[in-house]
Structure 1
């Protein structure tokens, strides 16, 4: 998305003239700009104008735009709740998946930050808040009896699926929403029938896409496969103590 014109009205520049500028305030304002105008619409100068401050003040909280984007991703991911003590590991992963989808739908312009930026940053250099879901899910799964490597495989499989799902859901486009014929609504009539017979035949299924239903179906497939192929170790049982007869004989 192209940056907005320099003379665009970003709201009341004096909306926060006397309020204390903290990192949280800066990140919240940055998120609002991204939600409205996309990542390309965010600049330190625009953000300073929204906050009614000199741009140099913002550099105390984010040395550059890259750090600002990392902070926004960290703030959004902080809303993703994981209960590592949940005894139902599969149920907890479903709850995490639903929560991630909800965040993606609430902040669609932030999704590229959540999906692509971490891939360009080594784990140890990522903002700690972006690693919290990983640590909590590893804790959840190792407590359930999975080995560390298997827990990592499950995390990667889950978030690989989630990233693909939310990107797909956000890009489900209808060409002609007023059309009643599914082939026309999706523009699939443009495809040569001899080259894409199956894709054209699935027009009703494609047109009736439901993100929540697709998520649950995908999780059914994923979690069933994980349960079948990766079996957690049973919880260690305490060694039984000597019986009363044993203690009597030991006298």
Structure 2
């Protein structure tokens, strides 16, 4: 399985100072693949293009990934491994907040990886997914059952929690303005083009939509989710 690759790592140099080419390794392959995705998008990542960046043949890459699909799985696993941390406190709600903010920071650092992080694991049966993509599930199930949730309820919490995270990062990353220099919120977002009679509520929220605060919005969503979960845990519902 791939080793952890820092999500902020840059492209590995092709040559050392002595003029000899840096040996090919799984970490170097994944760092370079991540750099391609960050710069050009997922569609630009091909075995041939990756080999060209690494200064090797495409056949040499098959030692590390048997196909492009396998390469994408390895890349998702390595990026996700940077998010998972061992819980440091017994405060399960605080730990969930920490995971949520780590995931958001990962998404903001690598926006072009988000479609892979959100959808790639779903294309494979649970037990056949790379172990690194299952570690958040295992970690959170352990955290929640230790806090007093039943195993089944812990799974429900996990699904609701990551549903919130996926929805949040996709929403935050699509908040695009039409004219960044425009001070009027309607014009800044291009909402003036929407017919007032058909979209009165959207137009009314122009100021709020124009001042989207990703951290604050995530915390509001977490507040609503965690308050309900804490109530459920206290009453044993």
Q: TM-score, normalised by structure 2?
A: 0.89
Which residue matches 2:223?
220
Which residue matches 1:157?
160
| 2:31 paired with 1:24 | no
Which residue matches 2:60?
57
Which residue matches 2:92?
89
> Shift in Å at residue 229 of structure 1?
2.6
Distance 1:104 1:155 in 2: 19
Q: Could you report, residue by residue, the CA deviation over 1:86-120 in whole angstroms, capped at 9, with x for unpaired residues? A: 20000000000000000001111111111011111
Contact 1:12 1:50 in 2 (8 A): no
Partner of 1:116, secondary structure, is helix
Distance 2:54 2:202 in 1: 49
Distance 1:196 1:115 in 2: 30
- Decide which structure has the larger Cα Rg and report it: 1
Which residue matches 1:35?
38
Contact 1:48 1:54 in 2 (8 A): yes
The runs of 4+ residues in structure 1 deviating greater than 3 Å are: 11-17, 230-233
After superposition, the Cα gap between the structure-2 partners of 1:23 and 1:181, relative to the gap in structure 1 and judged at 3 Å, is same
How does 1:101-140 map onto structure 2 within 5 Å? 101-140=104-143
> Shift in Å at residue 71 of structure 1?
0.7
Q: Could you report, residue by residue, the CA deviation over 1:220-250 in whole angstroms, capped at 9, with x for unpaired residues? A: 01111111234487xxxxxxxxxxxxxxxxx
Distance 1:211 1:183 in 2: 20
Distance 1:180 1:18 in 2: 52
Correspondent of 2:71 among 63, 68, 72: 68
Partner of 1:73, secondary structure, is helix
Which residue matches 1:48?
51
Partner of 2:31, secondary structure, is helix
Unpaired runs of 5+ residues, structure 2, are 1-10
Q: TM-score, normalised by structure 1?
A: 0.85
Unpaired runs of 5+ residues, structure 1, are 1-10, 234-251
| 2:202 paired with 1:202 | no
> Shift in Å at residue 15 of structure 1?
3.4
Distance 2:88 2:157 in 1: 17
Correspondent of 2:169 among 166, 170, 173: 166
When structure 1 is superposed on structure 2, of 221-230 and 87-96 the one drifting more is 221-230
Contact 1:183 1:203 in 2 (8 A): yes
Distance 1:14 1:136 in 2: 37
Which residue matches 2:146?
143
Give RMSD over aligned pairs. Answer: 1.8
> Shift in Å at residue 14 of structure 1?
4.5
Distance 1:203 1:179 in 2: 13
> Shift in Å at residue 12 of structure 1?
10
Distance 1:225 1:28 in 2: 40
